[in-house]
């Protein structure tokens, strides 16, 4: 009897050691680590629901999630992706922000996977450029984005104004609005990427394309073209039509002012419509208007390009499960999930179907109107703070805040930019 008990206990103990993982098929389950920055609603819940459904439909794959807030993500991902155990799939901005990881051999080229899997959703060409580097495809765009002027239709109607075609017309409108006792523009630059977005647009409009490309890539990197000073001067001049202490406020201050009618205009990202819907859905649907940055007459840059590139996802070159990682990317951009993000978060994913047929999927006019302007632009130019070498980008970010506060002039900042570019070029051995 004792022997039977002993044998039974051994068997039970053995089962606990070998069988607690469940059926044999679970031993073959692949675990993928997914790092993103969706810590706020509604994207947080939408992403969590998407992962749960993916795991249900793909029982052979488990998704482990790592998150970081938007403010800390840029630094955290730099550390994690260089570790011995980087995330299999990770959120990223495009262009130079991603390219530096590519040059270090940290990102998987997805070209062969996209060719192999015909079921992958067709992506908007203009939105994929930010994730391409030297013939390879190193990420997929998630959502369409662009920088546009958001205006209060009620204020514009009251003052007899309509969206301007030129920058001169725009300046005249700002004067009319100001004379009516309304602050024309609310601007919050406490997180200085907001100022960088202004300069992305202004540099693109004021500096010839080839010159801009040569300077940004450090093939030249002199930043000596007079268009750079013109862009910084326009940025400074616009402050006379803005709220005071711009460096002390964030975007939420700006947007609240727009909704309340305290200001007429905010220069903001297309994806901010999601935040606008959350803050005041009625205002967004009925009173939020959109137009692109007007043409700057006489300027030598490209006047038709719109600022903005999408956020996206990339795959680590160290992943042990590239096929499964790509399967997850496919799922993210499936029709079901593109509509999930549209309905829950008011984000337009970068799939051709949604882009071309936006009016079939939503009746929210600003979403439809914004896509119209993005469509008419031949391409979009990447955010300055992601496209430039980090040393130059940071100089821009800090310097624009100094212009905000009057601590620096456009000429002084441009000299700082030129020195930073010279240093960055030396670091790269150019």
Q: Mind listing the pLDDT tens digit for each residue in 3-59?
A: 444 444 444 334 333 444 444 445 578 999 999 999 888 888 989 999 999 999 999
pTM equals 0.85
pLDDT score for 8:
44
Ranges of H-type helices in 262-334: 273-279, 281-287, 322-332
Is a pLDDT exceeding 60 seen at residue 242? yes
The correct CATH number of 26-144+310-374 out of 1.10.150.120, 3.40.50.10300, 3.40.190.10, 3.40.50.720 is: 3.40.190.10
The label of the residue with tokens 């996802």 reads: 313
The CATH class that applies to domain 147-307+389-427 reads alpha beta
Asked whether the beta carbons of 366 and 373 are under 8 A apart, the reply is no
pLDDT score for 121:
78
What is the mean pLDDT of the segment spanning 378-403?
90
Per-residue pLDDT tens digits for 186-203: 999 998 889 999 999 999
| CA separation for the pair 34, 66 (Å, rounded) | 6
| CA separation for the pair 280, 298 (Å, rounded) | 39
Strand ranges in 292-426 using DSSP code E only, listed in sequence order: 306-307, 312-315, 380-381
Each domain of the chain, given as residue ranges in start order, spans 26-144+310-374, 147-307+389-427
Nearest to 66 by CA among 46, 93, 86, 42: 86
How many CB atoms are located within 10 Å of the residue 160 CB?
7
| CA separation for the pair 200, 231 (Å, rounded) | 9
pLDDT score for 40:
85
Residues 6+ apart with CB under 8 A from 114: 120, 137
How many CB atoms are located within 10 Å of the residue 14 CB?
10
Decide which of 349 and 75 is more confident. Answer: 349
Per-residue pLDDT tens digits for 354-374: 999 999 999 999 999 999 998
pLDDT score for 314:
97
pLDDT score for 42:
83
pLDDT score for 119:
62
Are 26-144+310-374 and 147-307+389-427 equal in CATH topology? yes
pLDDT score for 225:
98
Is a pLDDT exceeding 60 seen at residue 82? yes
Is a pLDDT exceeding 60 seen at residue 214? yes
Q: Tokens at residue 335, please?
A: 């029709």
Least confident span in 57-71, 182-196, 368-382: 368-382
Nearest to 152 by CA among 290, 36, 60, 37: 290
- What percentage of the chain reaches a pLDDT higher than 90? 70
pLDDT score for 27:
57
Query: What band does 378 get if pLDDT is binned at 50, 70 and 90?
Result: confident
What is the mean pLDDT of the segment spanning 280-306?
95
pLDDT score for 118:
66
Query: What band does 344 get if pLDDT is binned at 50, 70 and 90?
Result: confident
Least confident span in 208-212, 221-225, 302-306, 394-398: 302-306
Nearest to 325 by CA among 35, 24, 45: 35
| CA separation for the pair 85, 67 (Å, rounded) | 15
What average pLDDT does the structure give for the chain? 89
Separate counts of helices (H) and strands (E) for the chain: 23, 13
């Amino acid at each position: 009897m004792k022997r039977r008990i002993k044998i039974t206990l051994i068997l039970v103990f053995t089962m606990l050691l070998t069988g607690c993982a469940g059926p044999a098929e679970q031993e073959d389950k692949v675990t993928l680590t997914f790092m993103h920055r969706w810590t706020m609603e509604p994207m947080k819940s939408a992403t969590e629901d998407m992962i749960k459904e993916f795991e249900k439909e793909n029982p052979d794959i488990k998704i482990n999630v790592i998150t970081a807030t938007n403010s800390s993500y840029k630094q955290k991902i730099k550390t994690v992706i260089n570790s011995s155990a980087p995330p299999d799939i990770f959120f990223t901005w495009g262009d130079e922000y991603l390219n530096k990881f590519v040059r270090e051999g940290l990102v998987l080229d997805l070209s062969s996977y996209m060719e192999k899997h015909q079921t992958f959703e067709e992506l908007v060409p203009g939105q994929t450029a930010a994730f391409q580097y030297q013939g390879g495809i190193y990420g997929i765009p998630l959502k369409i984005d662009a920088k546009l002027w958001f205006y209060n239709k009620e204020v514009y109607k009251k003052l007899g104004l309509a969206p301007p075609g030129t920058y001169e017309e725009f300046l005249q409108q700002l004067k009319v609005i100001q004379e009516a006792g309304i602050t024309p523009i609310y601007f919050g630059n406490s997180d200085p990427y907001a100022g960088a977005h202004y300069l992305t647009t202004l540099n693109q409009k004021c500096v010839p394309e080839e010159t801009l490309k040569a300077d940004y890539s450090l093939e030249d990197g002199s930043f000596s073209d007079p268009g750079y000073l013109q862009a910084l001067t326009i940025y400074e001049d616009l402050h006379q039509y803005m709220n005071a202490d711009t460096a002390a406020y964030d975007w939420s201050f700006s947007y609240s002012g727009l909704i309340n009618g305290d200001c007429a205009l905010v220069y903001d990202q297309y994806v901010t419509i999601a935040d606008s819907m959350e803050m005041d859905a009625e205002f967004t649907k009925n009173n939020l208007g959109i137009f692109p940055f007007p043409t700057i007459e006489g300027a030598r840059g490209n006047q038709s390009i719109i600022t903005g590139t999408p956020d996206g996802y990339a795959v680590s070159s160290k992943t042990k499960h590239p096929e499964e990682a790509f399967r997850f990317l496919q799922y993210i951009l499936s029709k079901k999930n593109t509509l999930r993000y549209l309905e829950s978060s008011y984000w337009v994913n970068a799939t051709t179907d949604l882009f071309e047929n936006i009016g079939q999927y939503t009746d929210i006019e600003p979403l439809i109107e914004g896509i119209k302007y993005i469509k008419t632009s031949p391409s979009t130019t990447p955010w300055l703070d992601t496209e430039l070498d980090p040393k130059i980008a940071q100089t821009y970010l800090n310097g624009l805040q100094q212009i905000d506060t009057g601590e620096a002039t456009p000429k002084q900042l441009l000299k700082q930019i030129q020195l930073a570019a010279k240093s960055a070029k030396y670091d790269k051995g150019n």
